[in-house]
Amino acid sequence: MKILVLNGPNINMLGIREPGIYGKQSFVDLLAVLQATAEAENVEIDQYQSNHEGCLVDKIQQALGVYDGIVINPAAYTHTSVAILDALKAVAIPAVEVHISNVDAREAFRQISYAGLACKHTIKGQGLDGYRQAVVWLKEHI
């Protein structure tokens, strides 16, 4: 099984950006979680992070025929990007949306997820472990 993990804007700033909300673990820690998850679940995981919406759309489109599942944390694009929603719908690869923080307990605008409309499952507020949970969910449901 091959899974593409996509991370949107500012995820590369984990541990620096608002640690009271996103935790003190860094982006390097996230990469380690993904590596450990790949090994434990016997799946292949490729990770891509971008601060640019079009680059994320390109990666989603390029995933067609290559990946069995997508784990996506669109970050700020969660609440604004119809383009990411449309790309996810176009490729129709089973996807799980991940949010490190509990967006339901935050500002009202953060509770709207366009990308989530194209996802089979959403994990919120589980920190970096949410990524592991998303991979396990895809493995069990594909």
Active site residues: 22, 99
Burial degree of 74 (CB within 10 A; 0-12, 13-18, 19+): buried
Please state the φ and ψ torsions of residue 68, each to the nearest 5 degrees: -90, -25
- The three-class DSSP label of residue 64 is coil
**Backbone phi, psi, residue 72, to 5°:** -130, 130
Instruction: Check if the beta carbon of residue 121 is closer than 8 Å to that of residue 96.
Output: yes
